[in-house]
Structures are given as C-alpha cells and as structure tokens.
Amino acid sequence: MKKVTTKNILFLTGIIFFLLANSVFPVTIPEISTNLSQERIPLGETAVLTVSASWVGEASEFIFTKPQPPECRGLEVIGTSQRGITYRTDGDNNQAVEYLFTLRGKEAGDGRIGKVSLSYHRPDEETDHSISSKSLEVTVTSGGEGIFSSFSSALIYIGIGLAAIIAVAFYIRLTIRRYKKKSNEVIADYVKYMEDDSCKELDHVRKYKLRGEIDKYLEKIWDILADYLEKKYTITISPDTWDEVLGGRRSSGLSEESEKELSRILKTLEESRFGSSQADNQELDDILKRVYSFIESQKDQKHPTT
C-alpha cells in the first residue's frame, strides 16, 4: 500500500513539475494564417493566396518544408513563391514565413481553395510537426470584377453615366440662360432710363440760353443728342460727318421716320450753330423741344443688343 502511494505521489509531482515548467518556459508553436487578395475572382484573371506561419523568437528556431499547393475547384495554381519577414513589437522579435500561391479563375461558379499544410521541425529535433490552414470558399465570375462584372451592371453604370452627362449639360444650359437673362435685364434697365436721363440733361441746358450763352446752349444740345445716339444706336455723329452717317454709312435700329426727323434736327442745329446770332428765342426753344420730343419718341424702340 505504501509503494502504491509513493508511486502516485511521484507521478503527481512529475505532472505538476511539467505544468510549472511549461508555464515558466512556454513552448513556442508557430501560428498559421491565410489571406486571399479577393473573394470574387474574374474568369481568366488572378488572385494571390498567402499562407503565413508566424512566431515570436529567432528566425532559426524553426525549419519549414516547402508545402504542396492547395487543391482547388474552379481555380488553377499558376505560380508559387515564399519569403521570410522579421519585425519587432514591444521589444520582441517577430518572425513570419509566407508562402504565396498565384491562382487563376478557370471555371465560373462557386470555387474552393483547399487547405495548405506546413511541416516544420526544430534544428535540434528530427520529429516533424504540422499546422494546416482552413479551406476557403470563393466565387469565380464570368466577367470582369470591376464595373462590367455582368451585362446588367454594365447597363446600370452606363445609365448612371448618361444621367450624369445629361444633368451636367442641363445645369450648364440653365446657367447660361440665367446669365443671358440677367445680362438682358441689366441692359433693359439701362435702356429703360436712357431717354429719361437724356431728357433731364436737356432740362439743364436752358440755363445757358437764359445767360445769353447761345453757342454753348446749342453745343450742349448737340452733345446730349450725339451721346444718346451713340449709346442706344451706336451712331457716331459729328458736325462734319452727320449727313454722311445718316446717308447710309451706318447700321442702326432707327426707323425711317425717326431717321428723317433726326436728319432735319441735325441740319437745323448745324445751321443755328453757324448763324446763332441771328436765331431768335422762339427758334432756340423749338430746337430744344424737337430734340426732347425725338428722344422721348424712342422709348418704345428696342436697343440693338436686346
């Protein structure tokens, strides 16, 4: 009975020592992980499967055997490569061995990537250990993975594109119309008050006649009329060329009747300016009234730019 008890005690003591030893000096075991560059693989195009084994410690701690490519459904393996990576985190050396498999879509539909087994051993051991990745479900599409992955999606994107073009064109057209409308409103306001402004200026001309400054009186009437004609009809007149201008060497919006009246006014103004000393008060008042009436009569005439 004592022998059995002693053996049991020794056995339990060994187990406890083993557990304590592993907790103080844990055994490093590589961790395996997988990553697929894309879950939907277009037919005929490629994706990369990365199977990685990582651990904390030195790079020489494990020796890996090159694995066999995974068995696949709907895909084919067209290339393999591997690389080692070392990086530090929190003062520890981290190691990783990555195996890269280039896969190409072979058959459209539901695909599958089988597991990859990595065999390794320690330098001072002959026993091999193995860790395996999980299998992955993928989809092999019949078209490109991008915009035109299917005919229906192509139509959707084309429709969206056309709608965007139409919206931009409509916005540009609306902006142009608003700008033109605003410009026309500005011009219309300017033209609307052009006759009133000119008539107000004519009202101030009377003071020169009252002062006896007849030449300046006639000159101001001429200047106001000439300025009005240039602003509204782009007609430029001068005492030397007014008859040629009205004789057909210009293009304006003047009616035939208005043109005849303007010609008579300019002729009277010119004659009065050269014979101002002979002009009586009634003739001077008539000239001002005729110019005033002519400008007032042009209110209903459209500006050439509107």
> In terms of domains, do 174 and 234 share one?
no
> In terms of domains, do 87 and 185 share one?
no
Count of domains for the chain: 3
> In terms of domains, do 221 and 118 share one?
no
Closest CA to 175 of 185, 183, 164: 183
Tokens 């429709």 appear where? Answer: 159
> In terms of domains, do 135 and 185 share one?
no
| Residues whose CB falls within 8 Å of the CB of residue 85, separated by 6 or more in sequence, listed in order | 95, 96, 97, 98
DSSP 142-178: SS-SSTTSSHHHHHHHHHHHHHHHHHHHHHHHHHHHH
pLDDT value for 26: 55
pLDDT value for 25: 47
pLDDT value for 1: 46
Kindly list the averaged pLDDT for each block of 10 residues, start to end, along the chain of length 306. Answer: 58 59 61 93 94 91 92 94 89 91 93 93 88 93 60 73 88 78 56 82 89 88 89 76 54 75 84 67 88 86 59
> In terms of domains, do 170 and 201 share one?
no
> In terms of domains, do 290 and 263 share one?
yes
> In terms of domains, do 198 and 216 share one?
yes
Residue 226's Cβ-side half-sphere holds a number of Cα atoms within 13 Å equal to 17
> In terms of domains, do 217 and 261 share one?
yes
> In terms of domains, do 76 and 156 share one?
no
> One-letter amino acid identity for 276?
S
> In terms of domains, do 129 and 46 share one?
yes
> In terms of domains, do 124 and 33 share one?
yes
pLDDT value for 29: 86
Which range of residues forms the domain containing residue 208?
A: 193-297
> In terms of domains, do 32 and 108 share one?
yes
Look at residue 293 and tell me if it is in a domain: yes
Q: What is the CATH number of the domain that holds 131?
A: 2.60.40.740
CA distance 298 to 194: 10
Look at residue 128 and tell me if it is in a domain: yes
Look at residue 4 and tell me if it is in a domain: no
Give the torsion sign (CA, 160, 166, 169, 171).
negative
